[in-house]
Structure 1
Amino acid sequence: MTGETRTLAAWAAGLTLDQVPDEMRGIAIDLLVDQIGIQIGCAHLPWAQAVRDTYRAAGGAGEATSVVYGDKLPVLNTTFINSVFGHSFEYDDANPLIHGHIGGELVPPLLALSERDHLSGKDFLTALITGYEVRGRVGWAVSPTMLERGGPQYSTTCGPFGTAAAVSKLLNYGSDGLHNALAVAGTFSGGLMQYDQGGGSVKRMFTAVAAIGGLQAAMLAKAGITGPEEILEGARGLLKIYPDEYTPGPLTSDLGEFWTLRHVLFKPYCCCAIIHPAIDAIRNVITKHAITPDAIEAIEVGYPKGSHHHAAITDPKDILGMQFSTAFSLASTVLTGKNTPAAYTMEAIADPAIRAMAARVTLTNEKELDELFVGHMPARVTITTKTGAKHDDLVIDAKGSPAKRLTSNEVDEKFRSMVVDVLGRERADEIIATLRNVVNVPDMADVAKLLVK
């Protein structure tokens, strides 16, 4: 009997772009545009620069290019730098079915390798979609219990498998080679989630850890390192160790018919995606009932079990802490109307008005929402006014979620908002046009050149 890991690997190795529905190709290109825009727009952040300085100092062959700055470094170093850039401000894609931030796990290693080897955009896009689906199947199989109990973290745990598959696909390893890369990737799988309790800039590196973990797994598999064939479904494989229930079905069911890529979420707000429905809900309540900030006595947020503790920081010490604080994010919504990058600052954290409003927010587990947590990220917000009136709104799917996904035009506008100040409007539009036509790009090294000042 063929195991699930081998079945998934064989499907991934055999996938061609012609087999991918047009809708999925379009979403993958949106994912690419979104991720590249965030890399460019967030490259200047202090934690991004700390990573860049560290990996530049390591030196090595000039194989691939860091975005914005044009550093020529080995593929591994460039992958880590660009992936941190792309996950530096909680603004990159998510997925309520499979969890994690897959764009930052896949785009940096694939672009670095494609630049080094002068590979085509068609090969790049095929590998991106393949890696996303493998990563998606692994994430789906361990959801939602891994998040509900607080770990391990999805990108660092599931991401290496998707990246290993994507790299193996890009470099034509074939079915057996891709399967072995997955087997080796298990050694790079794991990671803790304490950041959602205490903050810390280390979380900015999680997609990079996944990206180089999978990249190294594929490289080592090619060099002859072997791993256990049933790394996902085996007695001590991923699915037996991490989730509460053993559910191997998502690894292989309806491959080529059901696409986890369809469930991608593009963020309009730069905070934990779990907070997004609460932001939409509080906006709805305030608008519908014309509630002013000084009229608010209390704000209650009802979350499903999986969300309840993941965005519950009440006294953030840094920007990441604010981005994982429902209370501070909603306080910003109420007082400034903004949840864009400009809203998440150390000054905002120290603002007495925001702190006072945040203190009025409480979180509860609304058990009726628990069953919606797979495939959705719901939240109910109830505002109690100082007159004692209560007004509430339930949002099951926030703006940007699969049911209300940003359009390609909206993704492009988000890209411009991140890139124009760095590279200028003309270059931003040139990059968008090139990425949207990526399937016809003969050499991805030409794309890498566009992303530099």
Structure 2
Amino acid sequence: MMKMLNQVLGLGWSDFSEETTERAKWVLIDTLFVMMSGIRHSPESQKYLKDKAVWQRDKAHPIHVPGTEAYLTEEHAAILFGTSIVCDEMDEGSQFAKGHPAAHLIPAMYIEATKHEIDGKQFLTALIIGYEIAARFAYASNMKDEMHPHGTWGIIGGAAAVALLQGKNKNEVIQTILLAASLPLATSWEAAVTGQTVRNLYTGLGNVIALYVQDFEKAGFVSSEHVLHHLWGRIMSRGSNEDLFLKKINDPLLINLNYFKLYPACRFSHSAVEAFLQLKSKDKFDVDDIESIEVETYDLSARLNHPSPQTTLAGKFSIPFLISILAHDFSLFDATRDEIFHNPSVRNLARNIQVTANQAMSEKLPEKRPAQVTVYLRNGRKIVGAVDDAPSGFEMESIKRLESKHWRIADHSIDSGQWTEAILDLQNVTDVQKLLERYVWRREK
């Protein structure tokens, strides 16, 4: 692990390709749009904001909440921002890490950027390096599938990025990382699939730790690589693979291989969703024509097989429910609406959709995430759709879909294209925070 840290922490702006810096900007753009959407639309985020906010910046409440006229303390902002990014299942992620690095970096970085002037190159450098450290650590550690990735290894990247923004030297950054890696939350995958919103708090609290660990390092608290081997090699995971810390490192950086969600649902469902949409676009049929549907996919995805979600969050983790919504020609972006979520026809079809694990597909992880969907019609016909992977969201056609997603979740309240254009020029910005506050939309308090 130390070889990886020394190599990654030795990188600077001149080492990054144009593709890497471009991808990092889109990670920032996507995460901020998703964060603001979550703040506005999550009932828990709205209530928390109302309870904790003041309406004029003061010394105790220095953090402006994008999309509002509100200000929060650093701690409350970290909780709100991190929680809001993940609440609608629209956050970017890494299939090598099996989780969502940016959700653990950008809230803490945004908060740090309010304390002193940080230019665009500094900000992007910290984002790229922090992302690599978090994703590389998760890739090598192979955390237990029973745990949820939020609030665990992502803290490491957030802590590293903030430490870099604070100007800590390499030894200080490494000790900060060791401390952060020693303070993961004990998380549960069941919280997600049963729709318990404590799962969203994992990310918010992870950002709090990423911020607080900076002071712990300054005070002299220490951890060690030995502690990390015990914690991540035996307790949090089933043993780490040391070779993956350095496998193809910087060839390319893992942020180059991230994905952007084009559907507001657990990433593990996206291959099945894409396969169904492709077959539906090629062969027209009515929902009343469907007898049943079978989905074959990799093992992690096949866990999303509960057909009757009881909460809207659980619905985002149910392949049968998601595919039934699409079969009824509804949008997944509208799945939380009562008339769709409780629709009897949607519910009935979902109970006739079977999801099974395919070993050959599972063996293609993490490079590929395949799925095959077979629709059986009442007239005896069978229609099959298959994909080798879910879309990354960064192909040319997907970029248009990504921009459409941002326009949609912004509720047309800002010129999303103008804000995107400004962040795409971030390397020439002298004060990141001024740019972010300038282009966000504001609501009446």
TM-score higher than 0.5 here? yes
Residue 403 (structure 2) aligns with: 412
Q: Does 1:371 align with 2:367?
A: no
Q: Structure 1 pair 391/413, CA: closer, same or farther in 2 (3 Å)?
A: closer
Percent of aligned pairs sharing the same letter: 20
Residue 80 (structure 2) aligns with: 81
Contact 2:334 2:340 in 1 (8 A): no
Once residues 271 and 297 of structure 2 are traced to their aligned partners in structure 1, the CA distance between those partners, rounded to angstroms, is 10
Q: Deviations over 1:314-353 (max 9, x none)?
A: 22111101111111100111102422x2233333221111
Instruction: Read off the aligned partner of 2:245 and give its amino acid letter.
Output: L
Instruction: Read off the aligned partner of 1:320 and give its amino acid letter.
Output: L
Instruction: Read off the aligned partner of 2:135 and give its amino acid letter.
Output: G
Once residues 363 and 231 of structure 1 are traced to their aligned partners in structure 2, the CA distance between those partners, rounded to angstroms, is 39
Instruction: Read off the aligned partner of 1:169 and give its amino acid letter.
Output: L
RMSD: 2.2
Once residues 387 and 90 of structure 2 are traced to their aligned partners in structure 1, the CA distance between those partners, rounded to angstroms, is 20
Q: Secondary structure in 2 aligned to 1:392?
A: strand
Once residues 372 and 191 of structure 2 are traced to their aligned partners in structure 1, the CA distance between those partners, rounded to angstroms, is 24
Instruction: Read off the aligned partner of 1:418 and give its amino acid letter.
Output: I
Once residues 70 and 61 of structure 1 are traced to their aligned partners in structure 2, the CA distance between those partners, rounded to angstroms, is 16
Contact 2:232 2:239 in 1 (8 A): no
Q: Structure 1 pair 222/9, CA: closer, same or farther in 2 (3 Å)?
A: farther
Contact 1:83 1:105 in 2 (8 A): yes
Contact 1:88 1:204 in 2 (8 A): yes
Once residues 274 and 411 of structure 1 are traced to their aligned partners in structure 2, the CA distance between those partners, rounded to angstroms, is 18
Q: Does 1:164 align with 2:159?
A: yes
Once residues 61 and 349 of structure 2 are traced to their aligned partners in structure 1, the CA distance between those partners, rounded to angstroms, is 50
Shift of 1:54: 4.8
Q: Does 1:304 align with 2:336?
A: no
Instruction: Read off the aligned partner of 1:47 and give its amino acid letter.
Output: E
Instruction: Read off the aligned partner of 1:373 and give its amino acid letter.
Output: L
Residue 109 (structure 1) aligns with: 108
Contact 1:97 1:375 in 2 (8 A): yes
Q: Secondary structure in 1 aligned to 2:53?
A: helix
Q: Secondary structure in 1 aligned to 2:152?
A: helix
Once residues 277 and 401 of structure 2 are traced to their aligned partners in structure 1, the CA distance between those partners, rounded to angstroms, is 20
Once residues 80 and 240 of structure 2 are traced to their aligned partners in structure 1, the CA distance between those partners, rounded to angstroms, is 35
Once residues 264 and 305 of structure 1 are traced to their aligned partners in structure 2, the CA distance between those partners, rounded to angstroms, is 21
Q: Deviations over 1:66-90 (max 9, x none)?
A: 1112333332322221222222200
Shift of 1:245: 3.7
Contact 1:30 1:408 in 2 (8 A): no
Shift of 1:435: 0.9
Q: Secondary structure in 2 aligned to 1:156?
A: coil
More displaced 10-residue stretch of structure 1: 8-17 or 130-139 = 8-17
Q: Structure 1 pair 133/332, CA: closer, same or farther in 2 (3 Å)?
A: same
Gaps of 5+ in 2: none
Instruction: Read off the aligned partner of 1:165 and give its amino acid letter.
Output: A
Once residues 129 and 89 of structure 2 are traced to their aligned partners in structure 1, the CA distance between those partners, rounded to angstroms, is 24
Once residues 21 and 230 of structure 1 are traced to their aligned partners in structure 2, the CA distance between those partners, rounded to angstroms, is 34
- Counterparts of 1:193-272 in structure 2, within 5 Å, are 193-232=189-228, 234=229, 236-272=230-266
Residue 345 (structure 2) aligns with: 353
Residue 98 (structure 1) aligns with: 97
Which among 432, 443, 446 is matched to residue 434 of structure 2? 446
- Counterparts of 1:14-53 in structure 2, within 5 Å, are 14-45=10-41, 46-53=43-50
Once residues 227 and 121 of structure 2 are traced to their aligned partners in structure 1, the CA distance between those partners, rounded to angstroms, is 30
Contact 2:294 2:355 in 1 (8 A): yes
Contact 1:98 1:139 in 2 (8 A): yes
Residue 391 (structure 2) aligns with: 399
Residue 131 (structure 1) aligns with: 130
Shift of 1:163: 0.8
Q: Deviations over 1:353-407 (max 9, x none)?
A: 11111111111111121111212322111111112332222212123357x5765
- Counterparts of 1:380-399 in structure 2, within 5 Å, are 380-399=372-391
Q: Secondary structure in 1 aligned to 2:182?
A: helix
Residue 121 (structure 1) aligns with: 120
Q: Does 1:336 align with 2:352?
A: no
Contact 1:196 1:313 in 2 (8 A): no
Q: Does 1:8 align with 2:20?
A: no
Once residues 409 and 242 of structure 2 are traced to their aligned partners in structure 1, the CA distance between those partners, rounded to angstroms, is 39
Instruction: Read off the aligned partner of 2:203 and give its amino acid letter.
Output: T
Contact 1:12 1:169 in 2 (8 A): no
Say which structure, 1 or 2, has more relative contact order (CA 8 Å, 6+ apart). 1
Contact 1:319 1:346 in 2 (8 A): no
Which among 180, 183, 186 is matched to residue 185 of structure 1? 180
Shift of 1:115: 1.9
Instruction: Read off the aligned partner of 2:112 and give its amino acid letter.
Output: L
Instruction: Read off the aligned partner of 1:399 and give its amino acid letter.
Output: P
Shift of 1:97: 1.5
Contact 1:55 1:81 in 2 (8 A): no
Q: Secondary structure in 2 aligned to 1:324?
A: coil
Once residues 348 and 296 of structure 1 are traced to their aligned partners in structure 2, the CA distance between those partners, rounded to angstroms, is 19
- Counterparts of 1:268-307 in structure 2, within 5 Å, are 268-307=262-301
Q: Structure 1 pair 7/95, CA: closer, same or farther in 2 (3 Å)?
A: same
Once residues 277 and 254 of structure 1 are traced to their aligned partners in structure 2, the CA distance between those partners, rounded to angstroms, is 26
Once residues 220 and 256 of structure 1 are traced to their aligned partners in structure 2, the CA distance between those partners, rounded to angstroms, is 30
What is the number of residues matched between the two proteins? 436
Once residues 204 and 345 of structure 1 are traced to their aligned partners in structure 2, the CA distance between those partners, rounded to angstroms, is 20
Instruction: Read off the aligned partner of 1:29 and give its amino acid letter.
Output: K
Which among 129, 143, 146 is matched to residue 144 of structure 2? 146
Shift of 1:153: 1.5
What's the TM-score, normalizing by structure 2? Answer: 0.92
